[in-house]
A and B are shown apart, each in its own frame.
Chain A
């Protein structure tokens, strides 16, 4: 044997011995101990820069690195953040915030100028922020974002080191809550100027929230440690936070069972029976602000005919889908806006909600017949969905319900990018879609059906009366009156049925027994600064 070869063989033998030994010796040592919370977080963050995000899982990380003017309490309700107090002008358009004395994690004072810088930064076209449009309610924001106006024209002004004025285009009762969103977080002006794009590297990053990043290994984990310069650091219990980015839901669940993970966000529904039986205390299911629906292409024949849209919707037995197909406590949807949304009361439901299912099927058949379809001339079209086991199960169930009323729907699935590319171009007949709210307000759902919304109004629904009511609601400062207007708009949409709401989402989390302070809430946002370990 030549020397290098012998070396290799020796090394190999050593490795094999090591494997055997390690297997015998190692009792599953937890990777971290003490005040460390380990969260399985659904996916890899696209960035740690709050201006470059678009996913809920990113919010779970950066939401404890930065704190905006307003922030969330343990149940995700808005509470004062960097702003101690504020005044609102009579017309509801001008907000004046008084900021608390606070600093960045490097000790630099945080001032109103940082907020001015941040809001301008997310809106300038060069930042290419996907979520910039969320701030369009601020005066001049849209013009800045489209490059039509200089950033200095934005309606955000520092009136002093600790006084900030924001002017809106209309009274928006959800504005304070919108300020809890990551698009409105302050980012450190001095650090971004110094490091440019590299400011999000853990070694450069400076934050104003309870935790700051120390390590980020792509596709493995992001680790945060407590920021002692955070203005409320005294009430933060955890020392470290680790976010695992593993996407394989089944593997994540095993890690949870083995005690390697304390909180699993969005567990896989197919395990629900096992979880309910074996881990009932750890399984958290709660209503979530999202709607799962089928968009109908109202611009394409024969779906321009309202009777057909209604018939398709009436023929779906939603209870059967949530109880027998999904089984994770989702709510059958008869309205577009989920129940429990702030300032909205009960959403406007379809008129036939309480009609017994048998009768609905008859009515659906009658409507189809009226529209010229029957057993000899069945309605045929393609139902599209993006590839996923759950979407497939729902689509199969719906197609069989439609078959019972004489409708032949061919199922067609594409992976998610191709699916949504088709939806964007209205290249579909009926297609699966969903919406998770960015802020707790009915407007965030209903605007999807406005003509001016553009690509997110997949089915190109357009009803002038609906548009008028929504526009009027936007300009109404009185909350009750505004809710009434949006309610009337939703009633019109439910009567027109350009979308078929199927179910309202639930949040699905696994929380270990030693985690204290985890509160289920409709936004499914749990700020880790309120969590402690037993």
Chain B
């Protein structure tokens, strides 16, 4: 197992290198630069700025010095948030996104798996159709519709929760964003669970379990769920990575100091170091979470060996 993990981590290095290279070149290929704006800079001032940020060098030299810096753990300064380095931004933003993301994924797994399992057990009943109807709506209604609706109802009309803001991390400020983040995930997980549970419940080993005279609860929880959860587990890897790295929509609407907005805004601002920093961070996270998923797989499914 350990050698498997080490091998997987080593193979991540070339992957990361390719990601960095492609992201770097794509970023440089985008038209416009970090200092293009309504008010054009006089050429001498632009020269001062480009020099200060090392942007006056040819692209290959910039690339090499970037590689050298990240090997030393230095992601560089932000061009937009001048008083912060990229590392500062990621380190202050990530814990917030991680916290909200974990709550949301927790809620999503709890409600999604429960709803999906119950729907599978009463396949094609009214209950099943209702749950799947909700799930389809949850998947179809995008976040940027759901989140403002939630704030309008709970923040403006009912005045029971703050409309937005972080409030130094008070619980009341986390409720709406967590729900908004969790809803589409609940819906997706419910559908996945139902689908695979329906299949598993018809499998031979379930028939055997029932024939042995096991109680239905044990059949479902100990035998069926274990197999039925496999697609959910493999979905959870990328989904967790996506949710814990923040959502630009949710963070903008609720004014949350996470890292989700850095990716999109960084690209729009041509804030090269921020975009690169977030890409590298995101890539590492996905690689790690995929590894975790594969390890979980080997625990849940005895046919899969971590080798």
Contact = CB atoms under 8 A, between A and B. Distances in A.
| Pairing of A with B | yes
A251 B254 CA distance: 7
Interface string B147-177: 0100110111001111111110011100100
A241 interface: no
Contact of B155 (A22, A28, A433): A28
Contact of A23 (B37, B106, B156, B160): B160
A251 B255 contact: yes
Contacts of A420: 32, 36-38, 40
Contacts of A421: 31-33, 36
Interface stretch (B3-11, B41-49, B131-139, B186-194): B41-49
A128 B51 contact: yes
Given A22-B172, A23-B175, A246-B252, A258 B40 contact: no
A247 interface: yes
Nearest to B88: A218
Interface stretch (A46-54, A81-89, A479-487, A507-515): A46-54
A416 B37 contact: yes
B129 interface: no
Contacts of A31: 162, 165, 167, 170
A44 interface: yes
A26 B160 contact: yes
A455 B42 contact: yes
Interface in B50-105: 51-53, 80-84, 88-89, 92-93, 103
Nearest to A215: B168
Contact of A246 (B48, B161, B255): B255
Interface residues of B, number: 67
Interface in A26-55: 26-29, 31, 44, 46-49, 52, 54
A286 interface: no
B39 A146 contact: no
Interface residues of A, number: 75
Of B34, B45, B256, B269, the most chain A CB neighbours within 10 A belong to: B45
A455 B38 CA distance: 10
Interface in B253-278: 253-257, 261, 268-270
Interface stretch (A129-137, A347-355, A375-383): A129-137
A329 B43 CA distance: 37
Given A12-B110, A46-B80, A251 B43 contact: no
A418 B155 contact: no
25 contacts: A15-B107, A23-B161, A29-B172, A44-B81, A128-B51, A142-B44, A146-B44, A147-B48, A217-B166, A218-B81, A219-B93, A219-B257, A219-B261, A220-B255, A246-B165, A248-B253, A254-B164, A255-B165, A258-B156, A258-B162, A416-B38, A417-B32, A434-B38, A435-B38, A456-B39
Interface of B: 30-45, 47-49, 51-53, 80-84, 88-89, 92-93, 103, 106-107, 110, 148, 151-152, 154-156, 159-167, 170-172, 175, 178-179, 251-257, 261, 268-270
The 5 nearest A-B residue pairs measured at CB = A417-B32, A455-B40, A421-B32, A128-B52, A47-B82
